[in-house]
């Protein structure tokens, strides 16, 4: 079970606040400005809603849709699609980032801490229940 589901709160499932909506014509995803980095972000909202795995056609078409927005915003080849799940690791979403973009320091620190915690948890022995 995912961390967001355990807490019963996923901001990408709810999408209560949207700064700017680029495209919501396809029911499988929406493209909006990310609340954290203010860059275009596609968020999966197809079925199942809270997932990290989608079919190859959905994957390709969602990427193509985000790329169209990025080309308008950043220029034809002046961007990349970042498919790393940073703030919300268990709900599929991608960001269009301009080439040369660097994560703000707060994100780099958060990600380093998250990585260290994961390594520590991986080292702990599993409890066995008989």
Single pTM value for the model: 0.73
Tokens of 30: 């929406």
**Residue owning tokens 């790329």:** 67
Sign of CA dihedral 74, 76, 78, 80: positive
Question: Count of CB atoms within 10 A of residue 37's CB?
Answer: 17
Parts of the chain with a pLDDT under 50 = 1-7, 130
Given this model, what pLDDT does residue 5 score?
46
What integer best gives the mean pLDDT of the chain? 83
Q: How far from each other are the two terminal CA atoms of the chain, in whole angstroms?
A: 22
Domain residue ranges in the chain:
3-104
pLDDT at position 117, please? 78
* Assigned CATH class of 3-104: alpha beta
């Amino acid at each position: 079970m995912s961390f967001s589901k355990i807490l019963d709160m996923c901001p990408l499932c709810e999408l209560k606040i949207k700064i700017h909506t680029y495209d919501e014509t396809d029911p499988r995803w929406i493209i909006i400005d990310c609340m954290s980095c203010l860059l275009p972000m596609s968020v999966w909202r197809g079925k199942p809603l809270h997932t990290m795995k989608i079919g190859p056609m959905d994957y390709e078409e969602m990427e193509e849709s985000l790329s169209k927005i990025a080309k308008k915003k950043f220029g034809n080849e002046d961007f990349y699609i970042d498919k790393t799940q940073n703030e919300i690791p268990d709900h599929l979403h991608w960001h269009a980032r301009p080439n040369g973009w660097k994560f703000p320091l707060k994100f780099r620190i958060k990600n380093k801490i998250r990585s260290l915690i994961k390594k520590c948890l991986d080292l702990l022995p599993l409890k066995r229940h008989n």
